[in-house]
Chains A and B, each alone.
Chain A
Amino acid sequence: MKENVVIRTISRFLVPFIQVYALYVIVHGALGAGGGFQGGVVFAASFILMIIAFDLPYVRQRFNYKWIVICSVLGVTIYATIGLLCLIPSGNYLEYGAIEAALGIPHLHGYLIDAVEVGIGITVMAAMTSIIYDISNKGGESS
């Protein structure tokens, strides 16, 4: 069931801006207001807008169940892997300062926090999109 052509055009126009804003919120987490949870939810909101304007199978062609499972596992894996990397220079788990002290790169602590936020954002985005897919799926034809 497709909506009116005005709604479809406007939402097709808005979705890239929403996604760029979501990436900005995720990456800006170490400098100002923002973070992985908020950015992930904003990114999922762009998929929700697409589901409202177009129909569910159209969106699922572009971001299907297989990629949702891959993304939701990938985010947790990024976070846990960065935590494990901190064990190599004999730090504690998730002690990013150990990596910064071992490699001697300034501000690496902040970059690792950014990478962790990216992992959080990927998982939140995939989980929110998965929930929306399942509760908006009415069954029936090709959905």
Chain B
Amino acid sequence: MNIKALFAVLFIGIILFWAVEDMPAFGDPEAPATQYTGELYVRSVLPDIGIENIVTAILASYRGFDTLGEVVVIFTAGISVVLLLRRGERL
């Protein structure tokens, strides 16, 4: 049983280490993740929005509706915990 588990773990681990070689290097400008939309955002955040932080610009302005949904999810989670754990009391 344990031998089989160890074998499975080693097998999957070797496959993962084998796949790491094909990953792009850290900070590689030729990597696919930095080539298309990433470069577009880096170029257009400052003229479009005028703030320096690209992450906040994407989070709050380009993906503003998504972030509104996240806030509503957190609000719903808080209300759900109140309804489940504080049963029968007034809010």
Contacts and interface: CB of A to CB of B under 8 A. Distances in A.
Interface of A: 29-35, 37, 65, 69, 72-73, 75-76, 79-80, 83, 93-94, 96-97, 106-107, 109-110, 113, 116-117, 119-120, 123-124, 126-128, 130-131, 134-135, 137
A130 B81 contact: yes
A31 B53 CA distance: 5
Interface in B56-82: 56-57, 59-61, 64-65, 67-68, 70-72, 74-75, 77-79, 81-82
A72 B64 contact: no
Contact of B48 (A29, A93, A97): A97
Of all A-B residue pairs in the complex, the 8 with the closest CB atoms, nearest first, are A127-B78, A94-B64, A134-B85, A110-B51, A30-B51, A113-B60, A130-B78, A131-B81
B52 to A, nearest CB: 6
Contacts of B53: 29-33
Given A30-B56, A83-B64, A123 B75 contact: yes
B68 A135 contact: no
Q: Is the interface of B mostly helix, strand, loop or mixed?
A: helix
B4 interface: no
Interface of B: 48-53, 55-57, 59-61, 64-65, 67-68, 70-72, 74-75, 77-79, 81-82, 85-86, 91
Nearest to B77: A127
B60 A83 contact: no
A127 to B, nearest CB: 3
Contact of A116 (B55, B64, B77, B86): B64
Contacts of B85: 134-135, 137
B60 A76 contact: no
Contacts of A135: 81, 85
A125 B49 CA distance: 27
26 contacts: A29-B53, A29-B56, A29-B60, A30-B56, A31-B51, A31-B52, A32-B52, A35-B55, A72-B78, A75-B71, A94-B64, A97-B48, A107-B50, A109-B49, A109-B51, A110-B51, A113-B49, A113-B51, A116-B60, A116-B64, A120-B67, A123-B71, A123-B74, A131-B81, A134-B85, A135-B81
